């Protein structure tokens, strides 16, 4: 087991950790808008870290270039999809959860 495998393994499992956190956040948080926070941030970074780990494992060739394209596309598209979901929910009149209503 050489050093490159270990570094890429650290990146991949850090990405898995953030994806699991995003999933638990989507399950636990109280309403749609707060779930967007978990989905929009943690999932983007988790995917980015996993693909970064695979790029380090692969070295520089055509496949790692494709993975770089996937990472760039994810970092543009994932916040855009989050924004589209938030805007659609806001226009349809979904009320955000407030702390005072809970008590």
Partner 1 sequence: MSFIITFLSVLIFWILLSGEFSGLLLGFAVLYSLLVAYFTHDLFVEKFRGYKIRQFVKFLLYIPWLLWQIIIANVQIVRIVIDPKMPIDPEMVYCKTSLKTDLGLTLLGNSITLTPGTVTVDIGDGEILVHGIGEDHKLAIIDQEIEKKIIEIEGTDNV
Partner 2 sequence: MFNTAAIIIILASAIVLFRAIKGPTVFDRILSVNLLGTKTVVILALIGYIFERPHFMDLALVYALINFIGTVALLRYVDKGRLD
Would you tell me which residues interact with partner 2 (CB under 8 A)? 5, 9, 12-13, 15-16, 19-20, 22-24, 26-27, 32, 35-36, 39, 43, 47, 50-51, 54, 57, 63, 66-67, 69-70, 73-74, 77-78, 80-81, 84-85, 88-89, 91-92, 94
Taking alpha carbons only, the member of 65, 64, 68 closest to residue 48 is 68
CB of residue 4 to partner 1, shortest distance in Å: 22
d(CA 32, CA 35): 5
Taking alpha carbons only, the member of 2, 15, 103 closest to residue 57 is 2
Which residues are near partner 1 by CB under 8 A?
A: 18, 21-22, 24-25, 28-31, 33-34, 36-38, 40-42, 44-45, 62, 65-66, 69, 76, 79-80, 82-83, 86-87, 90, 96-99
Residue 55 site contact among partner 2, partner 1, none (CB < 5 to 8 Å, cut-off depends on kind): none
DSSP 95: P
d(CA 98, CA 71): 35
Nearby residues of 58 by Cβ (< 8 Å), 6 or more positions away: 64, 67
């Amino acid at each position: 087991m050489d050093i490159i495998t270990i570094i890429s393994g650290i990146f991949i499992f850090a990405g898995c950790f953030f994806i699991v956190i995003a999933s638990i956040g989507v399950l636990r948080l109280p309403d749609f808008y707060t779930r967007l926070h978990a989905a929009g941030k943690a999932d983007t970074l988790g995917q980015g870290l996993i693909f970064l780990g695979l790029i380090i494992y692969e070295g520089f060739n055509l496949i790692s270039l494709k993975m770089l394209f996937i990472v760039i596309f994810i970092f543009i598209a994932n916040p855009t999809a989050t924004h589209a979901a938030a805007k659609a929910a806001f226009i349809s009149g979904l009320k955000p959860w407030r702390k005072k209503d809970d008590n």
